[in-house]
């Protein structure tokens, strides 16, 4: 275990106004030109719920209500979600990406399994029920994975609802089919490339195994997560795939720019692996990935700013990206609170 000060709510509050969480910043100053996204407010909702669970904070509960109201505003009549809202409160897109919709379902499912009030849970349930049908047509594996994470929360709240288990099996089967299509001896993965939020795929299959008890899901989750550990941890130092080129099969893994979201996704997937297998090594790996934020990285720079409780936007060849936007800060909060909830920090 590593020892860190308790995490204030300041990082979320700094990036949030009366509408929701804003998307980008210029250094530590909010860039209002970029407006808001469903993507970020869904993750903010998950973070605020986790914060309230760990600290029983009235301030975090207020944020839960705010972010949930944002998602309610962004859901369309057909159940899908728009993603972009301008600072002028005008919608900037006709419809959001599949990943945006999957994250919204994940956030709603997180509300359902939480200890917030029944009135908030009822809103989240109605949104989830309205949005779930379209998820069966998702082509994005990450959107499918986020949906499974949401189904997990729904299942905790309504364990006898067979429709939830059936939907989980549909999405898990989609992912396993991808795995068998692309996985080979030296490339144990769902796609012919590694890009962003990779660890959400095995993480979701650990949850699918817990719901459905099909060992195939757990076996694929274990094998694909091992592939990520082998390609991302070098002598205990986390080195995620860089956005400047990604990592194509039979190619070379890009070193830069490294993004905070990858450390967060790995932390959560490794925690789920530990719960599913009782193998202590996963806890060690989770802490190594989390330490990426605190200087255990290729540039030996600290990404978390304790003065503002926000996170820098990544590591470039020259060092830190000094902007401190929503995705980066939320990634830190989600990783920290996942470790805290599981008594690893």
Instruction: Give the whole-number percent of the chain exceeding pLDDT 70.
Output: 99
Can you give the pLDDT at residue 345? 84
Can you give the pLDDT at residue 31? 81
Can you give the pLDDT at residue 3? 73
Instruction: Say which DSSP state 7 is in.
Output: P
Tokens of residue 183, six digits? 């996985």
Tokens of residue 51, six digits? 């914060």
Class of domain 10-341: mainly alpha
- Write b or e for each residue in 10-20: b if 16 or more Cβ atoms lie within 10 A of its Cβ, otherwise e: ebbebbbeebb
Can you give the pLDDT at residue 95? 83
Per DSSP, the residues of 30-61 read E-GGG-EEHHHHHHHHHHHHHHHHHH--HHHH
In what helix (H) or strand (E) does residue 305 lie, and over which residues does it extend? Answer: strand 304-305
pLDDT single digits (tens) 180-212: 999 999 999 999 999 999 999 999 999 999 999
pLDDT at 26 over 90: no
Per-residue pLDDT, averaged over 93-112, amounts to: 95
Query: So where are the chain's domains?
Result: 10-341
pLDDT, averaged across the chain:
96
Is 33:13 a contact under the CB 8 Å cutoff?
no
pLDDT at 1 over 60: no
Per DSSP, the residues of 18-37 read SS-BBS-EETTEE-GGG-EE
pLDDT at 43 over 80: yes
pLDDT at 94 over 90: no
Indicate the pLDDT class of residue 4, thresholds 50, 70 and 90.
confident
Tokens of residue 276, six digits? 């599913």
pLDDT single digits (tens) 48-63: 999 999 999 999 999 9
pLDDT at 2 over 70: no
pTM of the predicted protein model:
0.97
Per-residue pLDDT, averaged over 279-288, amounts to: 97
Can you give the pLDDT at residue 96? 86
């Amino acid at each position: 275990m590593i020892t860190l000060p308790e995490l204030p709510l300041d990082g979320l509050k700094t990036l949030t106004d009366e509408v929701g969480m804003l998307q980008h910043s210029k250094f530590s100053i909010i860039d209002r030109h970029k407006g808001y996204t469903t993507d970020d407010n869904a993750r903010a909702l998950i973070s605020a719920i986790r914060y309230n669970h760990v600290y029983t904070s009235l301030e975090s509960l207020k944020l839960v209500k705010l972010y949930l109201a944002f998602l309610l505003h962004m859901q369309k009549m057909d159940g899908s979600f728009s993603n972009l809202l301008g600072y002028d409160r005008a919608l900037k897109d006709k419809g959001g990406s599949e990943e945006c919709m999957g994250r919204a379902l994940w956030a709603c499912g997180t509300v359902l399994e939480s200890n917030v009030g029944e009135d908030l849970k009822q809103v989240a349930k109605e949104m989830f029920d309205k949005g779930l049908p379209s998820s069966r047509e998702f082509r994005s594996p990450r959107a499918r994975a986020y949906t499974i994470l949401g189904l997990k929360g729904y299942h905790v709240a309504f364990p006898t609802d067979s429709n939830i288990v059936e939907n989980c099996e549909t999405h898990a089967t989609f992912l396993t089919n991808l795995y068998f299509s692309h996985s080979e001896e030296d490339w144990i993965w769902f796609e012919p490339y590694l890009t962003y939020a990779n660890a959400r795929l095995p993480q979701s299959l650990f949850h699918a195994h817990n719901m459905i008890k099909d060992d195939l899901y757990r076996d694929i989750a274990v094998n694909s997560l091992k592939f990520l550990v082998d390609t991302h941890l070098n002598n205990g130092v986390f080195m995620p795939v860089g956005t400047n080129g990604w990592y194509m099969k039979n190619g070379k893994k890009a070193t830069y720019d490294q993004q905070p979201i990858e450390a967060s996704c790995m932390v959560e997937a490794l925690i789920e692996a530990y719960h599913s297998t009782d193998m202590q090594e996963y806890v060690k790996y989770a802490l190594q990935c989390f330490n990426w934020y605190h200087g255990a990285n290729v540039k030996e720079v600290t990404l978390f700013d304790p003065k503002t409780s926000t996170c820098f936007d990544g590591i470039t060849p020259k060092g830190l990206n000094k902007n401190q936007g929503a995705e980066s800060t939320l990634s830190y909060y989600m990783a920290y609170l996942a470790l805290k909830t599981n008594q690893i920090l």
